[in-house]
Chains A and B, each alone.
Chain A
């Protein structure tokens, strides 16, 4: 799996061709993405919040599953790179008329789209599109099924690095619905690749995959034990539909067992930061006091998300440009 992921995502010189999963990229590439994002952080604070890097490029947001924030931050990132952006809410258009995924793809390619940013409910959708896309067209995975959400994981890594400087020596706890979370899978891969000392997952048994330990994590079913002395707490969003699937008794009980409160937060390292991919269910995953408190970096995650997405969009477009030139020469 790792090898084929590396082959699809990287060119022969190790440049980023597509960004589909953290798997197979390695510490060097992840660090390059973080460093590139660092370069973009200042752009949002200037008079003109744009750089001309991707002028004349067309980026299509292909969202088969709705997500306002992820789509918006990708759109803003592409616009800050001076690309033109098409937002396609596919679930509401072509597929309902019987058009296949490949037909949709070919039609957009005929419009000379340079990049697809794909969100899909099925695992592997972005891979499929990357395998079938024209030469010169880059693909970024904006979340596929339960599989991966690599830009979310990278913005989380960026947030951690900004606060903790170094990954080595850190203890990180990921709390919540690990089983259904593509975010958690990507985070675990990235944290291990970047060399943190310990990744913990904290969850009820019903929300953990059977093979959790094989991901390279320490498993905790007790919240107090799981977050004790950690440097970073990542709370996952609890999807309300899980309540109906009999995986959890009630929101109230979940909060009493796994909710993050000021009292629990005191068990973590005194400098620990609290993260959440959003949107927060206040009073389910965490107290409002924690969400709005001094240790919460949740809104910074959103800002950093733009810089990370600018980094991967520009790196992929840059590499694809090079390959188009090779063809032309």
Chain B
């Protein structure tokens, strides 16, 4: 139940942010001497972005996807997400260098959940965090390595990636969220 949602960025602008992110990831991987990273997108928006970044960077390993529903810290408050998908990490993660991709980095709780889930698959060599949007409001000590955009937002505003085709960013004001279909930024 969002009211007052307005377009913030169209597909073309989002795609140019993704180009910039791809360049930054490329540089960071080179600096660290990483040649065959495993890219992992967090459902749903993170997967859309990861697909584009994966293609742009020409990565060899197939793309992984994470659905963090089973690792959320608010299960006792909101119950089961009725739309879960299986997570899929197509190659063993032990000693692997991972590029974790999310759409909006806000409280940091999604990333906390994603890190816990990845470690249930094995012990990665390292994890780089790439987020399209880094917005204020962190509740955990989690920082991104690569960011597309740092918007200035009021605490009651939320920014959401819509897609997958076309992609776009919209800004809205918080109202009562439907607890049957929760979002965690």
Contacts and interface: CB of A to CB of B under 8 A. Distances in A.
B95 to A, nearest CB: 13
B79 A51 contact: no
Contacts of B79: 15, 315, 318-319, 321-322
Contacts of B87: 42
Contact of A38 (B86, B120, B121): B86
A322 B88 contact: no
Interface string A39-53: 111110011101111
A35 B76 contact: no
Interface in B68-92: 69-71, 75-80, 82-88
B70 to A, nearest CB: 4
Contact of B75 (A13, A41, A48, A53): A53
**Chain A contact residues (Cβ within 8 angstroms of B): what range?**
20 to 34
A36 interface: yes
Given A32-B82, A314-B80, A321-B79, A51 B88 contact: no
Contacts of A42: 86-88
B43 to A, nearest CB: 10
A35 B84 contact: yes
A294 interface: no
Given A315-B80, A321-B79, A322-B78, A39 B86 contact: yes
Contacts of A13: 180
A165 to B, nearest CB: 16
A68 interface: no
Interface string A269-298: 000000000000000000000000000000
Interface in A3-38: 13, 15, 32, 35-36, 38
A325 interface: yes
Interface string A221-232: 000000000000
Q: Bin the interface of chain B by size.
A: 20 to 34
A325 B77 contact: yes
Which has the most chain A C-beta neighbours within 10 Å: B76, B79, B121? B79
B76, B119, B120: residue with the most chain A Cβ atoms closer than 10 Å: B76
Given A53-B75, A321-B75, A322-B78, A41 B121 contact: no
Interface string B84-112: 11111000001000000000000000000
B120 A318 contact: no
A318 B77 CA distance: 8
Contact of B70 (A32, A41, A52): A52
Contacts of A46: 120-121
A39 B67 contact: yes
Contacts of A321: 75-77, 79
A3 to B, nearest CB: 22
B80 to A, nearest CB: 4
Contacts of B121: 46-48
A51 B86 contact: no
B184 interface: no
Contacts of B71: 51-53
Nearest to B78: A322
A126 to B, nearest CB: 21
B59 to A, nearest CB: 21
A316 to B, nearest CB: 9
A277 to B, nearest CB: 25
Interface of A: 13, 15, 32, 35-36, 38-43, 46-48, 50-53, 314-315, 318-319, 321-322, 325
28 contacts: A15-B180, A35-B82, A35-B83, A39-B67, A39-B70, A39-B85, A39-B86, A40-B86, A42-B86, A42-B87, A46-B120, A46-B121, A47-B120, A47-B121, A48-B119, A48-B121, A50-B120, A53-B71, A314-B80, A315-B80, A318-B75, A318-B79, A318-B80, A319-B80, A321-B76, A321-B79, A322-B77, A322-B79
Nearest 10 A-B pairs (CB), nearest first?
A318-B79, A39-B84, A51-B70, A318-B80, A48-B120, A42-B86, A321-B76, A315-B80, A322-B79, A53-B70
